[in-house]
A and B are shown apart, each in its own frame.
Chain A
């Protein structure tokens, strides 16, 4: 994975020093809250219901075990011993004190981490396929491009005061695990007719109060053109995105209002006008190679070639011998591009737990297991799970035992219990209703692994307000918490999907009181089980039959 050079390190160090000065001025009364707020937000510091909250970037979801240990240390030293992994592959600390935050940022800089641009109307942390570099179906590791984008977008002089926040997601595989179609810009790698890898450019997707699926404005763009093209998109958006209404300021509204074709034409014109100058100024081939070298797989070619199938055989034998382990494997393992290896998802969704939360001890355990079994590398997924990308098939069983000892062996990745959930009104000042208690209640009601296995692949996403941090619009079952007359109620959407066939869920009817949500979800799942054909997942069945049978089950009585 990428390591900072002296320049990257200095950029972050200077930022910490600058923020330390700003906090000192705030505490001394030289800066008012009004003046300080935009400065703290640009460093990921929010003021939430109970305390400050610090959002730390995990660029494109890649973490080293050393970084994860540092996060554990911060949780234990400055917070209440836990952290919350978010749907944007970041981690949030819920209880830091303002006076400690410069020290926390200082500690983060020691392990090449920061909170830069995790908030504010700027280009946010770029996200990626959590299996990047390891997935069997991948064309190429998208992370070198992500790192290029990270550096290019850091303190961009032209694009730091945009109409609204701006999120970019990248995938190098046909199977979209990065939800690129619901981002301001989604980049999907594929090969053109000549076989050269490049990116499809999708713009104007997003969730929030106006959910939209992004539109393709370029079928194929060569990799070395990405930054120049992004610059053209950003300039069109910066100049023409709406600034009169916060709720209409995202690029999706601009694309929607002028149309994808017109938007594409403006971008292409800007690109033609500036491309010559911009391209000359962008990272040269040496620099691109320098960055790409950092992402070479930690497993050497010799080792990859030497695989004799023994590891896979050992894994099969262990699965045959242990039913519990086998169920976990079915949920947690993904195909690897290097023979004899597996990608392992570590579910942060124990039944009744808080989705995405991990204690300092759990972070240390995962760091230790990553060192033993995954070349010291960990990923964060937008589903709020962790991933160990470089595990030998022969060692999966031992890894599982280690995870089990730390309470991290929930066998529900990709199943109904793998609930995506924002912090909701238990923490968040924007929320209109609680979301975590709903996730906890559902996690228990959905039943054990065997029942969830029978239900099959099903995503349940819960947001505590219309801003949709819990990605409810793209959950197969989406739950949105709202408030009416002082009471929480929950609106259910069906048919959403965040993958390459991304879709916004349909609102199914009137909302439900908190105590009714469990029954309603049971009813939806029960209806699916009744109508499904052999091999049909929930989303397949929904697409075949539509909303009617579900509406009938929910509201007919």
Chain B
């Protein structure tokens, strides 16, 4: 089943966050899922209040697949945002 979640970057730190029922979370598993486009629009509108609260930057909708209770983004770009760079980091 496909759905939509809202993602953004944390204003202060810059990290990837997802809009959850009780605010923003770094864990995609916490994300609130909209089942259709109308619900997705509402979800995005709700998340935008957090922009006014000055917590996140530029929230937008991300299409996800819900498979065995796990959310995974459809597009590679969002998969990479979710999992981090696919390459080992020189410093780590």
Residues of A in contact with B (beta carbons under 8 Å apart): 26-29, 33, 47, 49-52, 75, 79-82, 95-99, 353-354, 357-360, 425-427, 431, 434, 436-437, 440, 483, 486-488
Contact = CB atoms under 8 A, between A and B. Distances in A.
A46 to B, nearest CB: 10
Contacts of A486: 74-76
A7 B18 CA distance: 46
Contacts of B58: 33, 47
A50 B91 contact: no
Contacts of B92: 80-81
Contacts of A358: 90
Given A51-B9, A354-B90, A359-B91, 13 more contacts: A27-B54, A47-B58, A49-B81, A50-B15, A51-B15, A80-B91, A81-B91, A82-B91, A98-B12, A354-B88, A426-B86, A436-B85, A437-B87
Contacts of A487: 76
Nearest to A52: B14
A79 B91 CA distance: 9
Closest 5 CB pairs of A and B: A81-B91, A82-B91, A51-B14, A82-B90, A52-B14
Contacts of B84: 50
A426 B91 contact: no
B32 interface: no
B90 A353 contact: yes
Contacts of A425: 76-77, 80
Interface string B19-58: 0000000000000000000000000000000010010011
A336 B92 CA distance: 37
Given A97-B13, A98-B13, A488 B76 contact: yes
Contact of A98 (B14, B86, B89): B14
13 contacts: A28-B54, A50-B84, A51-B9, A51-B13, A79-B91, A80-B89, A81-B92, A96-B14, A97-B14, A98-B11, A425-B77, A436-B85, A486-B76
Nearest to A348: B90
Interface string B63-87: 0000000000011110011001111
A483 B81 CA distance: 16
B5 interface: no
Contact of B16 (A28, A50, A360, A434): A50
Contacts of A488: 76
A431 B80 CA distance: 12
Contacts of A51: 9, 13-15
Given A27-B54, A486-B76, A354 B87 contact: yes
Contact of A359 (B14, B16, B90): B90
A29 B86 contact: no
A96 B16 CA distance: 13
A85 to B, nearest CB: 11
B12 A99 contact: yes
Nearest to A32: B51
A401 B82 CA distance: 41
B51 A33 contact: yes
A307 B52 CA distance: 69
Contacts of A436: 85, 87
A386 to B, nearest CB: 14
B89 A47 contact: no
Contacts of B74: 486
A359 to B, nearest CB: 5
A27 B12 contact: yes
A434 B84 CA distance: 13
A47 B75 contact: no
A99 B16 CA distance: 16
Nearest to A97: B13
Contacts of A434: 76, 80, 86-87
A384 to B, nearest CB: 13
Contacts of A80: 89, 91-92
Nearest to B89: A80
Contact of A50 (B75, B76, B81): B81
Nearest to A49: B81
Nearest to A487: B76
Contacts of A33: 11, 51, 57-58
Contacts of A75: 91
Contact of B91 (A353, A360, A440): A360
A79 B57 CA distance: 20
